Amino acid sequence: AAARRAAAARALAAAGRANAAAAAAWIASQVNRKTVIACDPTMCAALTAAGFPASQEAVLERGDGISSSAALVVSTAFVRDRYPLAGIAPVVIASFGSGPAVVQVRQVASQGYLVSARRARAVRRADARALLATGRLHVRGTPRSDLLSGRVDPRLVAVLRRLTARFVVSVVRFANSGPQAGPSVLLRTVEIDGLAHGKVNEQRGVLKLLRALKPPDRASIQRLHAGGATVLKIEFPAPSPLG
C-alpha cells in the first residue's frame, strides 16, 4: 500500500510538472510581456526558463499576499492551498491538465467585477451592431454570432472599425488560443480574407495600419495561405480587458 501511494505521489508530481511546463510555454508565447503574473517559486522559475521576464513575476512565498499589481495568477496546487482564487482571480483564461495536478492561468478581477463585466458586454454588443451597420464588414454564421454576443475583444473591434473606415473586410473566424478557457474569456484573434485577389495596394495598406498600432495595443500579424487564398491573422496578447 505504501509503495502504491508513493507511486501515485510521483505520478501526480510528474503531471504537475508537465502541466506547469505547458502553462509556462503558453504564457511566454501569448501573454503581454508587461503583465505582472503572481506565481509560486517553482512556477515562476518555469516562466523564466520559458522566456517570460522575471521582472514581471510576483513570487508567492508562504504567507505572502497577492500583489495588487498582478493581473494574472498561475494556479498550482501550492497556490490553491493558500489563496481563495475564486474571489481574487475568477476568470480562467487557460487551463492545463485536470484534477489535483491542473495548472490554470487566472485573471485577477476587482470588487464588482460581475456588474462591470455585464456593462462592458453591453457596450461591446452596441459597438458590434454599429460596426455591422456600416455594411463594410462581411461576417456570417458563428463569427457573426460571436461579434453580436459581445464575445469579441474590444481591441479587435477597434481594429476592425479602423480597417473598415478604409477597406471592405471579410471575417473568416474569431478565436481564442487559451486551452480550456472559461466561457467569459473574450476572443482576441481574428482571421480576415479578401485581401489577396490582385489587391496588393489594399493588402499593404491594411498591414501598414496594423503595424502602426502602439504597445500595449500592438497586435501580432501573420499571413496564412490556404487553398490559394491569403488570410490575415490578427491576434492581441492576453489578457483581454475585463471591463
Residue 197, all three cell numbers: 485577389
pLDDT band with cut points at 50, 70 and 90 for residue 78: very high
- Among 34, 177, 176, 186, which residue's Cα sits nearest to residue 117? 186
Residue that the C-alpha cell 464588414 belongs to:
137
Tens of pLDDT, residue by residue over 119-154, are 999 999 999 999 999 999 999 999 999 999 999 999
Tell me the average pLDDT across 155-162.
91
Q: What is the Cα–Cα distance from 76 to 100, expressed in whole angstroms?
A: 9
CA 106 vs CA 87, 181, 227: distances in Å: 11, 9, 37
pLDDT, residue 161, reads 92
Residue 184, all three cell numbers: 467569459
pLDDT, residue 212, reads 77
Residue 76, all three cell numbers: 498550482
Tens of pLDDT, residue by residue over 14-32, are 999 999 999 999 999 999 9
pLDDT cut 90: percent of the chain above it: 66
Q: What is the Cα–Cα distance from 187 to 143, expressed in whole angstroms?
A: 10
pLDDT, residue 15, reads 94
Residues with Cβ within 8 Å of 168's Cβ and at least 6 positions away in sequence, in order, are: 136, 137, 138, 194
- Among 170, 92, 156, which residue's Cα sits nearest to residue 127? 156
Tell me the average pLDDT across 182-200.
77
More confident residue, 128 or 7: 128
- What count of Cα atoms within 13 Å lies in the side-chain half-sphere of residue 76? 25
Residue that the C-alpha cell 478565436 belongs to:
175
| Contact predicate 88/73, CB 8 Å | yes
Q: What is the Cα–Cα distance from 189 to 73, expressed in whole angstroms?
A: 22
Q: What is the Cα–Cα distance from 12 to 10, expressed in whole angstroms?
A: 5
- Write down the mean pLDDT value for the chain: 89
| Predicted TM-score (pTM) of this structure | 0.89
| 91 bridge partner residues | 107
Strand-by-strand arrangement of the 72-75 sheet: 57-59, 37-39, 72-75, 103-107, 91-96
| 161 bridge partner residues | none
Tens of pLDDT, residue by residue over 81-110, are 999 999 999 999 999 999 999 999 999 998
Alpha helices by DSSP H, 31-153: 41-50, 77-80, 85-88, 113-133, 141-148
